[in-house]
Structures are given as structure tokens and as C-alpha cells.
């Protein structure tokens, strides 16, 4: 008998574990794009650590900031011309969880990947001690993303928290990390274009790719607290030759009428590849659409307005949401979490971030 993705989801929605629920969701997304589900399922289980065994009918024992409902996982689909990638952002959770124990588990996870030859650690090794205090502070210490595409093995990226030694130490930490990575001149790019509004523009993530080759990136994310599309445009000016009007159009499609993003902030990022010294190769904007809509049916309309000009249509967006949930989009906001726009002088891409809602839908 044939089983549809909906059946699998419905079964996985019965009280089970976070692992079974999120594996079913990821398998649904992978199926859309011809990505073999086996490797993605096992990597997700490993990434979650002890959280894979959490029973969904109990409160989560650790409140992850990866997603609003404490689920330590978030899915995304990256659209790049006709190419697609499915990605998972996740926090590795220890048993019992604590900031310190989760960080140890995150270190073990990457050591395990390395022992299998799945990652290259040059960039991580250059900076990891800076982001590994005895007593980690802030909302998280290390997060990972797993990037899946039909053409090759999974790729990984690690996100460090610049506030892991406390907020007051963050700018110094970022400066040191840039210098260790041979990118000391990036600090003045950040100061000039991204961190213009004193304590309202803050570096919120420092990420490095865990793969080899000249495409391994260093990524720096800046949150624009109470910021506007203009703050994003000014940040994007660090990369010459970008189509800045795309930024304004994107914000207007996702949050029409919003001038100041006073809820969750607009976030900008710069990517640096080998050979870049001060000018980023790429600028990305992340719009937290969920904070600016009454519910996901409105978010969907706006996502379509933002993505259709980039070649992503309603049928595809609807298949993506159907892979992760059966709920009505009118019920609540939060499923469509962020939408991002990637701009480089040569190309443009977009990404849709979709929440698991493993906890919000289980309650």
C-alpha cells in the first residue's frame, strides 16, 4: 500500500519523540527535491543529541532559541535559480541539558563528523577557543546547520555566539576572530557599513563553513534592532554593484507598511570566501516575517509576493509547508519564520525558513 507524505506526518504527529517528528518533516522536504532521506535522517538524529529522544507530550527540558516554541531545529529551503537545497539549523542538546553541557556535546558532534571525514575544520580550529568559555553566557554557544542537496554529501556550518562571554565582550571577540581568520580589515567594513547605529546594530552570529575549498565561507550576521529597510540598504553598500532596490522591494512585500521593524529585527549578513579581504562577496537580508503578520495565511501571501519575482511559485511554497505541517495556516503565525534574500554582483537567491512547530503543535 502506498503511504503519502501526509500519512507519514499524521503518524509522526501522534505523541512520539522530537526525533521521529522532525525526521518525518525533513524526509518530506528531502522527498520534494530528490534528496535521499536516509543520510539526512541519521544526521538530524545526531545533530539533536539527547533531544531526539524527548517525548513530545512533555515540556522540552531545554528552551532552545533556534525556534520560538523551544524546538531546537528549524528547516529552510534555499532557492538559487533552478537549484534547491534543504537545510536544518539545530542545537545539539546534552543529557541533562545545560549551557555548558550542550557546548561539550556540540564539540563532540563535530569531532565525530571529523573522524568520519565529513568536515574540514581549519576555520573552526582557528577560532573555536574564542567561542568556548568555561561558563557560556547568552542564548546559545554553538549551533550547526546541515545543508542537503541531491548532488552530494551533507555539508555543515557552525554558528558561534559573539555574546558567549557576555554582551560587553562581543565586539572584541569578533575582532579577534576576524584577525585569526586573516580578515582583520573586515572590522572597518563592519564599522563603516553595518554597525552604524551604536548599540542598535549588533553582531548576532559568527559562522564558518566546515568544508574545504575556496567556497568555504566566513559569515557575519548583524541584527538591526528597531531598524528599517534603509539600514539594510546601507549595510549592503559594503558590496559594490548590488541591486539595492531588491532590498526595499523584499521588505515591502513581506511587511507592507512597516517602516521600523520593532519586533524581531531585520538581520543582515556578509559572506567572505577565500581571497576576500575587506569586501564581502555577498550580502544577505533576513526578514522575520512571522512577527509582522496576524497568521501564516497572510505570511504565505506575502512570501509569494516576495519570492515570485525570484522564480519561486505558490505550488512549491505549498508543497514545502505541507511537508512539515497539516495545520491550517489561519490558526497562528510562526510556521513561515524568516525569508531571506541573497545578493551578489553576479546572482540573486532566496531562502524560506519553516518552523518545525514540534512543541507549538503538540500542545
CA angle 215, 249, 253 (to 5 degrees): 105
Candidate segments 59-67, 147-155, 164-172, 326-334, binder of ligand TRP by CB under 6 A = 59-67
Q: Are strands 155-160 and 336-343 parallel, antiparallel or unpaired?
A: unpaired
Q: Considering only residues 271-310, where is the footprint of ligand TRP by CB under 6 A?
A: 286, 288
SS3 assignment, position 317: helix
CA 22 to chain centre: 16
340 has which bridge partners?
Answer: 286, 351
Q: Give the integer Cα–Cα distance in Å for 245 and 253.
A: 12
Q: Mark residues 13-52: x for contact with ligand TRP by CB under 6 A, - for none.
A: ----------------------------------------
Only one of the segments 5-13, 20-28, 62-70, 323-331 lies at the binding site for ligand TRP (rule: CB under 6 A); that segment is: 62-70
Contact of 268 with 285, CB cutoff 8 Å:
yes
Q: Report in angstroms how near the CB of residue 60 gets to ligand TRP at its nearest.
A: 14
89 lies in the site for ligand TRP, by CB under 6 A: yes
Q: What is the DSSP letter of 193?
A: I
Going through the chain in order, the beta strands assigned E by DSSP cover: 73-80, 83-90, 142-148, 155-160, 201-209, 218-224, 266-272, 282-287, 336-343, 348-355
> What character string, x for contact with ligand TRP (CB under 6 A) and - otherwise, covers 141-160?
--------------------
Comparing CB distances to ligand TRP, the nearer of 5 and 355 is 355
Considering only 26, 51, 67, 312, the residue that binds ligand TRP (CB under 6 A) is 67
Contact range with ligand TRP by CB under 6 A, out of 23-31, 37-45, 65-73, 127-135:
65-73
Cβ neighbourhood burial of 287 (10 Å; 0-12, 13-18, 19+): buried
The answer to whether residue 74 forms part of the interface with ligand TRP (CB under 6 A) is yes
Q: With b meaning 16 or more CB within 10 Å and e meaning fewer, what string describes 77-102?
A: bbbbeeebbbbbbbbbbbeebebebb
- Asked if 85 interacts with ligand TRP (CB under 6 A), we say no
Could you say whether residue 56 binds ligand TRP (CB under 6 A)?
no
Q: Which residue is nearest to ligand TRP (CB)?
A: 286
Among 9, 30, 66, 233, binds ligand TRP (CB under 6 A): 66
> Nearer Cβ to ligand TRP, position 17 or 355?
355
| Distance separating alpha carbons of residues 202 and 224, to the nearest angstrom | 7
Binding of residue 353 to ligand TRP (CB under 6 A):
yes
**Element containing residue 22 per DSSP (H, E):** helix 18-32
Pick one of 12, 267, 285, 306: the residue that binds ligand TRP (CB under 6 A).
267
> Taking the complex as a whole, how short is the minimal distance between the CB of residue 108 and ligand TRP, in angstroms?
23
Q: Compute the least distance from the CB of residue 174 to ligand TRP, in Å.
A: 17
Cα–Cα distance measured from residue 318 to residue 305, given in angstroms and rounded to the nearest whole number = 14
**Whose Cβ is closer to ligand TRP: residue 5's or residue 131's?**
131
Q: How far is the CB of 292 from ligand TRP (least distance, A)?
A: 13
Binding site for ligand TRP (CB under 6 A): 65-67, 74, 89, 264, 267, 286, 288, 338, 353
Amino acid at each position: 500500500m502506498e503511504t503519502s507524505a501526509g500519512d507519514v506526518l499524521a503518524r509522526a504527529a501522534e505523541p512520539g519523540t522530537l526525533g521521529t517528528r522532525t525526521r518525518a518533516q525533513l524526509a518530506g522536504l528531502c522527498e520534494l527535491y530528490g534528496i535521499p532521506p536516509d543520510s539526512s535522517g541519521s544526521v538530524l538524529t545526531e545533530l539533536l543529541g539527547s533531544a531526539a529522544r524527548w517525548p513530545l507530550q512533555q515540556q522540552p527540558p531545554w528552551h532552545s532559541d533556534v525556534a520560538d516554541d523551544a524546538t531546537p531545529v528549524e528547516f529552510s529551503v534555499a532557492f538559487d535559480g533552478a537549484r534547491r537545497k534543504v537545510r536544518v539549523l539545530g542545537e545539539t542538546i546534552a543529557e541533562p541539558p545545560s549551557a555548558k553541557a550542550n557546548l561539550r556535546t556540540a564539540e563532540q558532534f563535530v569531532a565525530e563528523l571529523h573522524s568520519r571525514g565529513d568536515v574540514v575544520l581549519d576555520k573552526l580550529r582557528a577560532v573555536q577557543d574564542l567561542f568556548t568559555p568555561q561558563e557560556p553566557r547568552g542564548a546559545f554557544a554553538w549551533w550547526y546547520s546541515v545543508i542537503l542537496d541531491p548532488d552530494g554529501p551533507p555539508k555543515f556550518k557552525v554558528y558561534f555566539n559573539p555574546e558567549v562571554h557576555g554582551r560587553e565582550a562581543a565586539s572584541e571577540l569578533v575582532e579577534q576572530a576576524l584577525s585569526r581568520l586573516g580578515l582583520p580589515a573586515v572590522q572597518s567594513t563592519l564599522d563603516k557599513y553595518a554597525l552604524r547605529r551604536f548599540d542598535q546594530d549588533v553582531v548576532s552570529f559568527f559562522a564558518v563553513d566546515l568544508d574545504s575549498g575556496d567556497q568555504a565561507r566566513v559569515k557575519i550576521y548583524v541584527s538591526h534592532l528597531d531598524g528599517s529597510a534603509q539600514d539594510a540598504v546601507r549595510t549592503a553598500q559594503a558590496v559594490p554593484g548590488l541591486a539595492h532596490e531588491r532590498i526595499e522591494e523584499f521588505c515591502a512585500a513581506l511587511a507592507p507598511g512597516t517602516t521600523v521593524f520593532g519586533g524581531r529585527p531585520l538581520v543582515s549578513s556578509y559572506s567572505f570566501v577565500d581571497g576576500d579581504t575587506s569586501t564581502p562577496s555577498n550580502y544577505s537580508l533576513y526578514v522575520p516575517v512571522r512577527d509582522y503578520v496576524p497568521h501564516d495565511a497572510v505570511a504565505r501571501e506575502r512570501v509569494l509576493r516576495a519570492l515570485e519575482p525570484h522564480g519561486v511559485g505558490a505550488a512549491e511554497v505549498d508543497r514545502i509547508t505541507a511537508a512539515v505541517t497539516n495545520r491550517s495556516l489561519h490558526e497562528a503565525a510562526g510556521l513561515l519564520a524568516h525569508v531571506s534574500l541573497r545578493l551578489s554582483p553576479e546572482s540573486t537567491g532566496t531562502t524560506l525558513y519553516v518552523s518545525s512547530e514540534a512543541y507549538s503543535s503538540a500542545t
